[in-house]
């Protein structure tokens, strides 16, 4: 995926401003940003569902704005809202979607991959929220897409269901599927993404691996007690600082070192816009 100078406005509101982004084959990229930052607009343009005002966009080598049906069969989309095929069974829903493509995986194989084999005969309306999201993913990958877009895939999940879903994403990524997802869960981005793109006020303010993004934008916090008083120092080199303190004969009682998190970096980045 190759994006240069992407811009989109709605009247006076500039939703996306001169955005550049590259996504490599087989990569998992998480797009982060507050509500209204431009995440959904960007994804919709990349999916070919919304026209851009300016910029160059190539997804799987083609312009999504003019791409044909063959191109669309190469991408998968998992929308934020759960699928609503309540009167159909899970298996019927899968077969209906499979028939829409010239080529597709066997529905039973896909249901096994997403952990829904035991629910194939159940009506969609009887599924739990987590099971419905798994069905959404199954529908998104039925045609073995090269690229999968996922919009807030685990919204509303309890912690156990979310981590089970993460395992599924890892399986898809290991199978070579390129994945672009939006999420409000910072731990989700840290756990799944090869790289994280942060969008604020329509602009891409940072893109890097979770580790490098964290290291570049935050500092560690060193706490200890000295002569009965708590001391706190923020530093980029906590080990070096502790060695210097120890070499000077100081006793670092109740010493703790708190490493920064991706959430710390994210809040710093969106606060700087």
Following DSSP, what letter does each residue of 205-225 receive, concatenated? EEEE-HHHHHHHH--EEEEEE
pLDDT for 272: 54
Q: Which residues are 77's β-sheet partners?
A: 149
**pLDDT beneath 70, residues of the chain:** 81-84, 102, 217, 250, 272-273
- How confident is the model over 121-142, as pLDDT tens digits? 999 999 888 888 888 888 988 9
User: Is the residue at 224 inside a domain?
Assistant: yes
In a domain, 89, yes or no: no
User: For residue 180, which of 77, 25, 28, 44 has the smallest C-alpha distance?
Assistant: 28
Domain annotation covers residue 150: no
What pLDDT does 191 receive?
92
What pLDDT does 250 receive?
Answer: 67
Predicted model pTM: 0.80
**Which of 140, 148, 147, 61 has its CA nearest to residue 104?**
140
Report whether 71 contacts 45 (CB < 8 A).
no
In a domain, 99, yes or no: no
* Residue 220, in any domain of the structure: yes
Does residue 41 belong to any structural domain of this protein? no
Asked, for residue 257, whether it belongs to a domain, the answer is yes
Whole-number CA gyration radius for the chain: 22
Per-residue model confidence (pLDDT) at position 134: 85
Please provide the DSSP assignment of 14-29 as one string: EEEEEEEEE--TT-EE
**By residue range, what is the domain housing residue 232?**
215-271
Instruction: Tell me whether residue 229 is in a domain.
Output: yes
Q: How far apart are alpha carbons 46 and 6 in whole angstroms?
A: 10
What is the DSSP-derived secondary structure letter of residue 80? S
Provide the domain count of the chain: 1
Nearest to 171 by CA among 128, 248, 114: 114
What is the predicted pLDDT for the residue at 83? 60
């Amino acid at each position: 995926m190759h994006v240069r100078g992407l811009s989109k406005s709605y009247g006076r509101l500039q939703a996306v401003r001169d955005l550049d982004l590259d996504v490599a084959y087989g990569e998992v990229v998480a797009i982060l940003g507050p509500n209204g930052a431009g995440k959904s607009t960007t994804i919709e343009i990349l999916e070919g569902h919304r026209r851009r005002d300016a910029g160059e966009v190539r997804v799987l080598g083609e312009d999504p704005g003019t791409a044909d049906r063959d191109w669309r069969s190469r991408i998968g989309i998992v929308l934020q809202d759960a699928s609503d095929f309540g009167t159909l069974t899970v298996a019927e829903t899968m077969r209906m979607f499979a028939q829409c493509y010239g080529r597709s995986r066997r529905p039973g194989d896909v249901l096994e991959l997403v952990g829904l084999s035991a629910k194939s005969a159940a009506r969609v309306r009887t599924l739990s929220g987590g099971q419905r999201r798994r069905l959404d993913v199954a529908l998104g990958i039925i045609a073995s897409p090269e690229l999968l877009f996922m919009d807030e895939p685990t919204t509303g999940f309890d912690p156990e269901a979310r981590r089970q879903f993460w395992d599924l994403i890892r399986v898809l990524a290991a199978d070579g599927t390129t994945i672009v997802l939006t999420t409000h869960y910072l731990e989700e981005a840290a756990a799944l993404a090869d790289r994280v793109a942060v969008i604020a006020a329509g602009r891409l303010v940072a893109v890097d691996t979770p580790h490098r993004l964290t290291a570049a934008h935050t500092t560690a916090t060193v706490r200890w007690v000295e002569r009965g008083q708590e001391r706190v120092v923020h530093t980029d080199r906590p080990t070096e600082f502790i060695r210097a303190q120890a070499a000077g004969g100081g006793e670092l009682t109740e010493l703790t070192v708190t490493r920064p998190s991706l959430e710390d970096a994210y809040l710093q980045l969106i606060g700087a816009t």
